[in-house]
Structure 1
Amino acid sequence: MKTMRAITIALTMSALGACARPAQDAPAAAAAPVKVETAAASQMQERLSAFGEVEISPDHSRTISLSYDAVVVALRAAPGQTVRSGAPLLEVRPTPAVVLEQRRALEELRFARADHDRVVRLRGQSLATNAELAAAQQALANAEAAADDLGARIGSGGVRVIRAPIAGLIEAIDVEAGAIINAGAPLARVGDAESLQARFGVEIEDLGAISQGASTIVRDLRGDVSSEGRVSRVLRRIDPATRLAEVTVALPANASFLPGTPVRGEIAIGAPREAISLPRGAIVYDGETASVFVVQGTTAHKTQVRTGAELGDRIEITSGLEIGQVVIVEGGATLEDGATIALQQSGAP
């Protein structure tokens, strides 16, 4: 996965020129359907592009596991499902070995109680020492603790319903019905769907330019959903699988992404600067030479320019154009140098 440098262009409404169209009473042959924009300086922010994926923040996610070996009896929910706190997720029962362990613990408890009672009677008859009584008391306490621990963890040994610890989205169900799971193995994961983050992979040489809290524009790969977040973590190590470093961006609560969405992030780097930019459609290419049509009076003059960075539908103009010049942004591809145009300012009757 490679990263790319790009420029984000923040345009203010005052920087936009008035749109123009040919005057309605002009001869059809003398006018072309064009729109214009006045070149203006706007603040630009250099950004680093990277690709990643949206996920629920681990700080707002709960993984469910058991403290004993068990068999999955049935699944009661599916990944991607929204659940309330306490909603059933799956059913489990202890393995036969765990049930046998509980029975053994209960049997040892009965024996410890009987032995304790026997030693107490003997001590009352001066037939047992204080040390023997203390040992019997300790053995009973140990047996009670073991039985209570197993009882608290597996209950009666029957089927147990595992429920969602919080309200949210089921991120994963890690088991299948009939599976035998070991103690501590993850069963399911539930997270707060409004606590999202995006994890990106970036080249190691770009890490030095990324700072904590940097503004980041996050978009899905189709461009349908976007949100602005902030860099929350920069890991200065290489992932052996991707050969990239990891950057995490915290997203706002109103972000419309679903967990698992592939996204592109544009991370702000460097200091903002002033520059001229134009819509992509304003630039006419002749091979590798870029030009724009500058309007002077009623004439469109083809003017060679040099372009810089680009992002979305706008491209930076680094030379050949001055602030205040009026540029054709739509319709220039069909014009010839020196073409006559008749403009009607936007908003005119």
Structure 2
Amino acid sequence: MRVTAYMALVLLLAACGGKEQAGKETGGGKSALNISTLTVAPRALAETVRVYAEVEAAVAPEVAAEVSGRITAVLVEEGQQVRAGQPLARLDAANLADARHMAEAEVERLQALVVQQMSQVKRDSMLVERGFISPSAMESSSSALAALQQQLEAAESAAAIKRRDAGKAVIVAPLSGQLEARLVSVGDFVGVGKVLFRINASGARRVKLAVGGEAGERLQPGQALRLSDGSRTAEVKLSEVRAGFDAASRSRVAYAPLPADTPWRVGDALDGELTLSRKTALAVPLPAVVERPKGMVVYVVKDGRARERAVSTGLGSGDWVEIVSGLKAGETVAVDGAGFLSDKAKVKPVEAVDGKPAAGGG
């Protein structure tokens, strides 16, 4: 019985010793953490900003009312092809016709007065020659004639303006193209300068975007713009950047031409990604950078261990971030799973990142 108990004690001690030895071999009994890794190397980075873009006609003159009045007829619709000189709308011309008649009547009145005064000057000239009136009386008649002639010239100019105004009661297309916008309806009262129509003269389109803040100050022609409507994309470049900022939105306006084969129409709204700058620098995927109490760190993997390394980050580009200091090209860092690591933790790389084989497994 004593022998049996002694053998049981020996077996128990042996088992405990085996576990202790196994614990030493595995570093305290903690198993290695599965991670993915990346070999650090220079990478092309792009600084981008999200923008909202609207499609508009590249050449779209605005047809505005040149006289005031009420719209009596609209003769075209949006999307219609129009030719230069084609009537687009009509205004109530009654007041304009009355004004023209009044101006023409004033011209006729002054013409009669001029004729009458010319006869008076002729009579006064004869009377002066005969000594019946003084030369000063003759000068007075001549001055009155000159004043009437000046009034007649002014009245004739005013009448010409009124005749042109009456003709402007019919709004016509200044050039040929597609009617992109109709901004007036029958019954509207419009004043001088009111925009009534927009015509796409060339058929070309462009996008307009507004960018505020520091990014707006960095806009310049030639920057790349990626456009998307959710299913289709296009790559274009800024062709024009307005010098100043819009007073209301504090944004800077820029334009980019659209290729002829793009499907978007005037008025379509698109999402855009504008590239402000490009550079080549050391970079790692975002999950590789972990925020700790002492700052941003990465975990450098070597000989099956993860070593915590403080780093300074720079430009963010999509899912990547620039490493300004703290890493060298060729070093291997943990990516997926980095947030669960601590300094000197055992790791087991099980997956490659960015198409590169897993490394640093020791």
TM exceeds 0.5? Answer: yes
Q: Which runs of 4+ in 1 moved over 3 A?
A: 38-42, 205-208, 234-238, 274-278, 306-312, 314-325, 337-340
CA distance in structure 1 between the aligned counterparts of 2:330 and 2:85, rounded to whole angstroms: 62
The alpha carbon displacement at 1:219 in A equals: 0.9
Structure 1 residues 245, 41: CA separation in 2 closer, same or farther (over 3 Å shift)?
same
2:65 is matched with: 66
Structure 1 residues 225, 94: CA separation in 2 closer, same or farther (over 3 Å shift)?
same
Deviation per residue, 1:254-307 (Å, 9 max, x gap): 2634222222333333452245688x9xx99xxxxxxxxxxxxxxxxxxxxx99
More off after superposition, 135-144 vs 168-177:
168-177
Q: Does 1:76 align with 2:88?
A: no
Assess if the C-alpha contact under 8 Å between 1:214 and 1:267 holds in 2: no
User: Alignment partner for residue 276 of structure 2, among 243, 246, 269?
Assistant: 269
2:266 is matched with: 259
Structure 1 residue identity aligned to 2:150: Q
Structure 1 residues 135, 223: CA separation in 2 closer, same or farther (over 3 Å shift)?
same
More helix by share: 2
What is the root-mean-square deviation in Å for CA atoms of aligned residues? Answer: 4.7
Deviation per residue, 1:26-76 (Å, 9 max, x gap): xxxxxxxxxxxx99754222122222423335xx33222233223322222
Assess if the C-alpha contact under 8 Å between 2:245 and 2:253 holds in 1: no
CA distance in structure 1 between the aligned counterparts of 2:250 and 2:178, rounded to whole angstroms: 28
Q: Does 1:123 align with 2:121?
A: yes
1:301 is matched with: none
CA distance in structure 2 between the aligned counterparts of 1:169 and 1:42, rounded to whole angstroms: 47
Q: Does 1:55 align with 2:56?
A: yes
2:232 is matched with: 224
Q: Following superposition of structure 1 onto structure 2, how do residues 316-327 of structure 1 map, counting pairs within 5 Å?
A: none
Structure 2 residue identity aligned to 1:196: R
The alpha carbon displacement at 1:253 in A equals: 5.1
1:190 is matched with: 199
Partner of 1:122, secondary structure, is helix
1:174 is matched with: 183
Q: Following superposition of structure 1 onto structure 2, how do residues 277-292 of structure 1 map, counting pairs within 5 Å?
A: none
Structure 1 residue identity aligned to 2:54: E
1:86 is matched with: 84
Assess if the C-alpha contact under 8 Å between 2:207 and 2:258 holds in 1: no
Q: Does 1:45 align with 2:56?
A: no
CA distance in structure 1 between the aligned counterparts of 2:72 and 2:189, rounded to whole angstroms: 10
Gaps of 5+ in 2: 1-38, 126-137, 289-310, 333-347, 352-362
The alpha carbon displacement at 1:177 in A equals: 1.2
Partner of 1:125, secondary structure, is helix
The alpha carbon displacement at 1:181 in A equals: 1.8
CA distance in structure 1 between the aligned counterparts of 2:101 and 2:274, rounded to whole angstroms: 60
The alpha carbon displacement at 1:196 in A equals: 2.0
CA distance in structure 1 between the aligned counterparts of 2:194 and 2:54, rounded to whole angstroms: 25
Gaps of 5+ in 1: 1-37, 285-305, 326-336, 341-349
CA distance in structure 2 between the aligned counterparts of 1:87 and 1:39, rounded to whole angstroms: 67
Structure 1 residues 182, 168: CA separation in 2 closer, same or farther (over 3 Å shift)?
same
Deviation per residue, 1:164-202 (Å, 9 max, x gap): 223334333221112222223222222344152412242
Structure 1 residues 62, 251: CA separation in 2 closer, same or farther (over 3 Å shift)?
same
- Number of aligned residue pairs: 278
Partner of 1:142, secondary structure, is helix
Assess if the C-alpha contact under 8 Å between 1:173 and 1:188 holds in 2: yes
Structure 1 residues 51, 184: CA separation in 2 closer, same or farther (over 3 Å shift)?
closer
The alpha carbon displacement at 1:106 in A equals: 1.2
Structure 2 residue identity aligned to 1:172: A
CA distance in structure 2 between the aligned counterparts of 1:231 and 1:216, rounded to whole angstroms: 12
The alpha carbon displacement at 1:234 in A equals: 5.1
Kindly name which structure, 1 or 2, has the bigger radius of gyration based on alpha carbons: 2
Structure 1 residues 311, 90: CA separation in 2 closer, same or farther (over 3 Å shift)?
farther
Assess if the C-alpha contact under 8 Å between 1:72 and 1:90 holds in 2: no
Q: Following superposition of structure 1 onto structure 2, how do residues 206-245 of structure 1 map, counting pairs within 5 Å?
A: 206-208=215-217, 210-226=218-234, 227-230=236-239, 232-233=241-242, 235-236=244-245, 239=248, 244-245=249-250
The alpha carbon displacement at 1:107 in A equals: 0.9
2:130 is matched with: none
1:132 is matched with: 144
User: Alignment partner for residue 143 of structure 1, among 152, 155, 166?
Assistant: 155
